[in-house]
Amino acid sequence: MNYKTVDRADEESVINKVSADLNVDKSQINCRYISSKVQEKYSESHQENRIYNHRLYEIKIQVFPEDEQKENFVVNGRHYYWMSISDMERDPNIVKKNLDVIDFVKESMHA
């Protein structure tokens, strides 16, 4: 999931957003800040270079709704689907727009 965050220690905000989006009780969600990376890159949607501060959080949900364990599902009218890093690396649209983010996640997982 991808959210705009304001503060470095924004775990509570992330928990609130995940809880609301997935209809999961906040008490069932643990959030841990992992790392951040500032970089300038071209924004496809804005057609200009922009500076991004990517923050990576690990979310653990203790009791995950059964319907949301499926490969794809809809909650509150929004369609979600699970992808592995390998799945994302095979998606041309994701690679074009966010390969740098995939690489950042992979680097952080092996740090």
- pLDDT, tens digit, 9 for 90 and up, residues 63-103: 988 999 999 999 999 999 999 999 999 999 999 989 999 99
| pLDDT tens sequence across 13-71 | 999 999 999 999 999 999 999 999 998 988 888 999 999 888 999 999 999 889 999 99
Alpha-carbon distance of 97 to 32, in angstroms, equals 26
Give the residue from 72, 96, 42, 10 showing the smallest Cα distance to 18.
Answer: 10
pTM (predicted TM-score) = 0.83
Within the chain, what is the greatest distance between any pair of CA atoms?
A: 41
The answer for 50, left when phi > 0, alpha when psi is -120 to 50, beta otherwise, is: beta
